[in-house]
Structure 1
Amino acid sequence: MSGWLHTLPLAWMALVVFGATYIVAFILHQGIAALSAGSTARSFKALSPGMLPPLGIIFGLFVAFTAAQVWSDSDHANAAVNREASALRSVVILASSFPGEPEARLRTLVRSYIEETTSQEWPLMAESAATLTIIPPALNEALRTTLALTPNNPGQEIAQREITRWLEDAFEARRQRILVSSAQVNPTKWACLILQAFCALLAIAVVHSDNRMASAIALGSFATGVAASVLLILAHDRPFTGEIAVSPQPLLQVMPEAKAGGGE
C-alpha cells in the first residue's frame, strides 16, 4: 500500500478509502446493469446466490488474518516503548545512589538520549528508515559512565549493577522498537485482500443484476464493510506512522524537562 496514504490525517484517509471503494462499486453496478440488458442476462441469472456467503467468509478470513499481524505489531511497538521508558526511569531513580556529579551526569545523559530519540529517531521510524547501525551516543556514554563508577559501599555496588542492567534493557527495548517500526502489511497480502473484495462485489452485482435497486443496496452495504475493514487495517498498519501512531510520551514522562522533538 502506498506510503503517502499512511501519512494522511485519519479523516482524509477515510475519504480516500471510502471514496475509492464506492467508485469501484458504482462502476460495477453500472457496468453489470448495462450488460444485463443484452444477451448476457441469461448467463447472469444462472449464477447461484449461494456463492455469496463463501466469498464473504473468505474476505472475512483475509481481514482477520491481516488484522492479526497489525494488532501484534502495534502491541509490540507499545510494549517496546513502555519497556524502554521503564528502564530509563529505573536508571534515573538508582542514579541518586551516587549523589553529586555522577547522578547529575547520568540524568543529563538520559535527558539527552530522550531528546535525541524523540527529535531524530521518531521521524525516521515514521518513515520506516530507522536502523540499528548507529549506537545512541548518550545511552552508550551512560553505560560507560556507570561502569567507571567506584562504589563506596555495598548499596552502591548493587545500584551500579542494577543501573547497568537497566541500561542494557533500554538498549534491547530500543532495538525492538526500531525493528517493529519497519513492520507493515506486505503488498501480497494487500493484493489478495483487495482482489477478494473485488470478486465479492462483482458477484453481488451479477447476482442482483435483474434488480438495480437491490443491487445498489447490496453493493453499497458490502462496499461500506470493505472500506471500513481496509481503513481499520491501514490506519494501524505502520505502528509509528500516521495520526494514531505510537507516541514517545512514555519516554518524555521519564524526564519531564526533556524537550519533545518531531515525533509527537
Structure 2
Amino acid sequence: MTIDSYPVGFLVLIPGCVAASLVGLALVRRSLHRHDLKAIQDVASYLYAVVGTLYAVILGLIVVDSMSKFSEARLTVESESNAISDIALFASQLPGDTSRRVRSIIAAYVKSATEREWPLMASGRTSPEARALAVDLSRAVLSFEPKSERESAIFDAQLGSVTQFWNSRRTRLLIASQRGLPSLEWIVLIAGGVITVGFTYFFKLDDFRLQLAITAMLSAVIALNLYLILMFGSPFSGDVKIDPDGFSLTRYILDEVPEN
C-alpha cells in the first residue's frame, strides 16, 4: 500500500496530524500558566493573522499547481490516444501491406504502453519496448510513398497525427518522471503547517474542550490540503491516477474498422 492511497490518508495521515496537534496543545497548556497566555495573546493574534495569510497563499498556490499538473497529464494522455487512433483510422485507407504493417505496430504499441509502461510510470520509469515500437510506428508511416492525391492527403494527415503522438508521448513521460513535489516545497508546507497550528496554542479559551475542537478542525483542514497535494502531485501513481482508458478507442478501430 502506497502513501498516496485512501486508507493511508484517511486512517493514518490525517488522524495522525490531528492527534499530534491536540497533544501539542495539551503540552503547551500544561507548561504555560494562564497569566502567561494572557500576556502574549494580543501580540500573538496580530502575528497569527500574518502567518495564517502567508501560509494560506502558499498552500493554495501549490494545491492549484498540483491539480493543474494532473489535468495537464490527463489532457496529454487523451491527446496521445486520439493521435494514435487517427493514425490507425487513416492507415485503414492505405494499400494493403502498408496498412497491415502500421496497424500491427499500433496494436503492439497500445498493448505495451498500457500493460507494461503504465505500471512503470508509477515509479517514474519508462518501457524501452514501448519506445522502440513508437519509433517503428513513425518509420512505418514516414516510409510510405503516396501515389495519388487521395493517398497524399492521407499521408499529410498521418504526418500531423504522428507529430501529435510523439509530442504527447514525450510530455506524458516527462510528467511521469517528475514524481510529486520537490523536497523543498514539502519542507515549507509541513513547517508552515506546524507553525500555523502552533500559533493557536497561545490563545486560551475558558472551555478547553472548545479549544481542542478548534485546533483539531484547523489541523484537519491543513492535513486535507496536504493530502490533496500528495494525491494529485503524481498523476500516474496512487489511488487517484490517470488510467489508459482512452486507448480503448484505438483497439475498437483496429478491431472494427476493416483495412482498405
Task: Judge same fold: TM > 0.5, yes or no.
Answer: yes
* Change in 2 beyond 3 A, CA 1:32/1:186: same
Matches of 1:220 and 1:70, distance apart in 2: 25
Match of 2:200 among 201, 204, 207: 204
Listed as ranges, the gaps of 5+ residues in structure 1 are 259-264
Map of 2:257 onto structure 1: none
Match of 1:192 among 179, 188, 194: 188
Match of 1:171 among 166, 185, 191: 166
1:145 and 2:161 are equivalent in the alignment: no
Matches of 2:252 and 2:216, distance apart in 1: 49
Report if aligned partners of 1:44, 1:209 keep a CA contact under 8 Å in 2: no
1:45 and 2:38 are equivalent in the alignment: yes
Matches of 1:257 and 1:156, distance apart in 2: 20
Matches of 1:122 and 1:167, distance apart in 2: 20
1:241 and 2:228 are equivalent in the alignment: no
Map of 2:223 onto structure 1: 227
Q: Offset of 1:85 from its aligned partner?
A: 0.9
Map of 1:65 onto structure 2: 61
* Change in 2 beyond 3 A, CA 1:168/1:257: closer
Report if aligned partners of 2:9, 2:227 keep a CA contact under 8 Å in 1: yes
Matches of 2:35 and 2:68, distance apart in 1: 47
Q: Where is the helix percentage greater, Structure 1 or Structure 2?
A: 2
Listed as ranges, the gaps of 5+ residues in structure 2 are 255-260
Give the ranges of 4+ consecutive aligned residues of structure 1 lying more than 6 Å apart after TM superposition: none
Matches of 1:13 and 1:225, distance apart in 2: 13
Q: Secondary structure at the match of 1:244?
A: coil
Deviations 1:204-246 (A, max 9, x none): 1221266422321221121111121112111111011111101
Matches of 2:183 and 2:230, distance apart in 1: 12
Matches of 2:204 and 2:194, distance apart in 1: 16
Q: Give TM-score, length-normalised by structure 1.
A: 0.86
Percent identity between the aligned chains?
18
Map of 1:262 onto structure 2: none
Matches of 2:163 and 2:130, distance apart in 1: 12
1:5 and 2:7 are equivalent in the alignment: no
Matches of 1:66 and 1:173, distance apart in 2: 24
Map of 2:120 onto structure 1: 124
Matches of 2:212 and 2:186, distance apart in 1: 26
Matches of 2:132 and 2:223, distance apart in 1: 45
Q: Secondary structure at the match of 2:124?
A: coil
